[in-house]
A and B are shown apart, each in its own frame.
Chain A
Amino acid sequence: MLEFLARRAAAALVTLVLASVVVFVVLEVLPGDPAEVMLGTEARPDTLAALRAKFGFDRPPLERYVSWIAGLTVFELGNSHAYGTPVAKLIADRIVVTLPLGLMALTWATIVAIPLGVFAASRRGSPADWAVMGFGQLGISVPNFWFGILLVLFFAVSLKLLPAGGFPGWRTDVLESLRSLILPALALSLSEIAILSRITRSSMLDTLREDYVRTARAKGVPERAVLMKHALRNALIPIVTVAGLLAGFLIAGAIIVETVFRLPGVGQLVFDSINNRDLIVIKNIVILITACVLFVNLLIDVAYAFLDPRPKVSA
């Protein structure tokens, strides 16, 4: 078990190092002069030289890469060009919006999707099953940002129940802040609900065919207990795997959804940094998001290894 986990962790670390090389090469080596990317080709030579000196772009690439990685390990990410503040602080200020948003979306998706999938599997072939499957098909086809706009049209413009966008801040008003995350979390969770309910359904159908389920039914165990205790518990492995994978995509989805709702989260910071050509911020956020995705995947491997002893033999 330990050897399996150590191998997975080593593989994730190798991927992360490779990713950091890719990010560095794309942002700082391929364009030739990063200072020119940040200031534009028409910038004055002395301004360019000043920026190069400020961010150390005049040093050799290898030296810059090593000092960047060394900084990353202690969360010393340098200063933003556009904001003039430490990147670590910028990210810390924004993560308090993005993290609750992602968690709300994931929680909501799990609460809705798993019962929906179990329900559909228990009534296989019925109109209810078709409805759930149809919803699943629709859920993966609707872009989350459009669903967000539709939610704004309905709940904010027509019913005036929830705010259309913006975020007051946790310190200003906790309740209002929570309210302003409801629609974005709903928008973000649609495709997750669709995918998760389909996986739950098919995983449940697989386990419902197993001998122990037939035995439980033959013994007279009530259907609800058969579904929840015997089938769902064993169907959970693929569900957990997919839920974890979706967590990675939630982070990417947040970039767009935060733009729709004008939430001052990490996604908005990335978006603003692209417009400001703030390579320092982009470089660090991209590698941190990548690290998060890899870490979540590693956690799934750990969960998987605990839930099911088989994969560690084949992996």
Chain B
Amino acid sequence: MKGTFWRRAIRHPGFMLGALLVGITVAMAIVSIVWTPHPYDNLRMALKLRPPSDVYPLGTDHRGRDLLSRIMVGAQTSITVGLIAVSIGMTLGVMLGAWAAARRGWVDEILSRFSDLVFAFPAVLMAILITSVFGASATNAILAIGIFNIPVFARVTRGAALTMWGRDFVRAAKALGLGPFSITVRHVIPNIASVLIVQATIQFAVAILAEAGLSYLGLGAQPPVPSWGRMLYDAQTYLYDAPGLAIYPGLAIALTVLGLNMVGDGLRDLLDPRLRLMRVG
């Protein structure tokens, strides 16, 4: 089964291209932990706004820092925020969704009210609420994006799990005397895993976009930690002198998100072409 998945995956051009784009970002993030062409936070005003050269492949920013090094470290920020936010949303959302599908009735009703409530606040508003009281930080951005992801996963899990509860093997497990918890853990979750994996990939893309937006507004990771969104905000002042500053970090965001979306779509084709997913953000 595994062998056939990879054999099919290699023949899926969208999936492979997406995986390549995501792979580049992940590799950049990992490499930047141990090595960057220049120190990412080295302020040298004498070298500010230099055009691309052999020494500075993408040029320098308004404080003389190497743009390539900052984009590489920025990948760490994007991936960390996205990964943790989606993990929070997925863990809590899957638990809630599976619980609602198993119990139905009032649990289900409360879950749908909760989903409506969270969906009424777009992620940016949620972040604004949190940061206006607790201050702007990467942690609060993660919290805001994470909370927004809970009902996304809860709804998808609930829908997929409900279908499973109607299937014969689940009925058989019930007849054998298994409780709702055991059935959920042993039979329901493993059978809806592919739906969740695809949704997680797409939400990862949405989370990276949200993080970029929040850090653009100054509500994400704080200086000196580089973030792609904030780099774009800073670049706007120098559009005439150094347009590259406004192009490369945006390209990094767009290509990473594009890669994740392509991997998500590819996985959907490869794992289960009938999946119906949500795309919100």
A residues contacting B by CB (< 8 A) are: 11, 14-16, 18-19, 22-23, 26-27, 30-31, 37, 137-138, 140-143, 145-146, 149-150, 152-153, 157, 164, 195, 245, 248-249, 251-253, 255-256, 259-260, 270-271, 273-274, 277, 279, 282, 286, 289-290, 293-294
Bound CA span A256–B236, Å: 13
Contact of A152 among B113, B122, B216, B239 (CB under 8 A): B239
Name the residue of chain B whose CB is nearest to the CB of A27.
B133
Chain B contacts of A286 at CB under 8 A?
121, 125, 128-129
Chain B contacts of A289 at CB under 8 A?
122, 125
Q: Nearest Cβ distance between residue A147 and chain B, in whole angstroms?
A: 8
Chain B contacts of A282 at CB under 8 A?
128-129, 132
Given contacts A11-B116, A22-B117, 12 further A-B contacts (CB under 8 A): A16-B120, A30-B133, A141-B258, A143-B229, A145-B232, A146-B253, A149-B232, A149-B246, A157-B239, A259-B217, A274-B131, A286-B121
**A26 pairs with B130, CB closer than 8 A:** yes
B residues contacting A by CB (< 8 A) are: 113, 116-117, 120-125, 128-134, 205, 209, 212-213, 216-217, 219, 229, 232, 235-236, 239-240, 243, 246-247, 250, 253-255, 257-258, 261-262, 265, 279-281
Chain B contacts of A146 at CB under 8 A?
212, 232, 246, 250, 253-254
Q: Which of A149, A248, A259 has the most CB of B within 10 A?
A: A149
Chain A contacts of B279 at CB under 8 A?
140, 195
Bound CA span A274–B214, Å: 13
Contact of B243 among A140, A142, A157, A271 (CB under 8 A): A157
**19 contacting pairs across A/B (C-beta < 8 A):** A15-B120, A19-B120, A26-B133, A30-B133, A137-B258, A141-B255, A143-B216, A143-B254, A143-B257, A145-B229, A149-B235, A149-B250, A153-B243, A157-B240, A255-B128, A259-B216, A274-B132, A286-B125, A294-B120
Name the residue of chain B whose CB is nearest to the CB of A28.
B133
Q: Nearest Cβ distance between residue A285 and chain B, in whole angstroms?
A: 9
Chain B contacts of A11 at CB under 8 A?
113, 116
Bound CA span A141–B120, Å: 23
Bound CA span A288–B124, Å: 15
Bound CA span A279–B123, Å: 19
Bound CA span A18–B113, Å: 9
Q: Nearest Cβ distance between residue A207 and chain B, in whole angstroms?
A: 17
**B133 pairs with A31, CB closer than 8 A:** yes
Bound CA span A286–B116, Å: 16
Q: Which of B133, B212, B216, B279 has the most CB of A within 10 A?
A: B133
Bound CA span A274–B144, Å: 15
Chain B contacts of A23 at CB under 8 A?
129
Bound CA span A137–B17, Å: 13
| B interface majority secondary structure | helix
Chain B contacts of A195 at CB under 8 A?
279
**A26 pairs with B129, CB closer than 8 A:** yes
Bound CA span A274–B124, Å: 12
Q: Which of A142, A271, A279, A282 has the most CB of B within 10 A?
A: A142
Q: Nearest Cβ distance between residue A91 and chain B, in whole angstroms?
A: 15
Contact of A19 among B121, B122, B255 (CB under 8 A): B121
**B262 pairs with A290, CB closer than 8 A:** no
**A255 pairs with B239, CB closer than 8 A:** no
Bound CA span A1–B129, Å: 37
Contact of A137 among B212, B213, B246, B261 (CB under 8 A): B261
Bound CA span A19–B257, Å: 31
Chain A contacts of B134 at CB under 8 A?
31
Bound CA span A295–B49, Å: 48
Q: Which of A37, A140, A195 has the most CB of B within 10 A?
A: A140
**B121 pairs with A143, CB closer than 8 A:** no
Q: Nearest Cβ distance between residue A14 and chain B, in whole angstroms?
A: 7
Contact of B125 among A245, A271, A290 (CB under 8 A): A290
**A145 pairs with B113, CB closer than 8 A:** no
**B129 pairs with A256, CB closer than 8 A:** no
Q: Nearest Cβ distance between residue A54 and chain B, in whole angstroms?
A: 19
**A274 pairs with B128, CB closer than 8 A:** yes
Query: Given contacts A153-B243, A153-B246, are A293 and B232 in contact (CB under 8 A)?
Result: no
**A27 pairs with B132, CB closer than 8 A:** yes
Query: Given contacts A137-B258, A143-B209, A150-B250, are A271 and B122 in contact (CB under 8 A)?
Result: no
Chain B contacts of A259 at CB under 8 A?
216-217
Contact of A248 among B117, B122, B205, B250 (CB under 8 A): B122
Contact of B117 among A15, A141, A256, A273 (CB under 8 A): A15
**B258 pairs with A138, CB closer than 8 A:** yes
Name the residue of chain B whose CB is nearest to the CB of A18.
B117
Contact of A145 among B125, B128, B216, B255 (CB under 8 A): B216
**A271 pairs with B132, CB closer than 8 A:** no
Name the residue of chain A whose CB is nearest to the CB of B122.
A252
Chain A contacts of B229 at CB under 8 A?
143, 145
Q: Nearest Cβ distance between residue B252 and chain A, in whole angstroms?
A: 10
Name the residue of chain A whose CB is nearest to the CB of B115.
A15
Name the residue of chain B whose CB is nearest to the CB of A195.
B279
**B124 pairs with A256, CB closer than 8 A:** yes
Chain B contacts of A27 at CB under 8 A?
129, 132-133
Chain B contacts of A293 at CB under 8 A?
120-122
Chain B contacts of A143 at CB under 8 A?
209, 212-213, 216, 229, 250, 253-254, 257
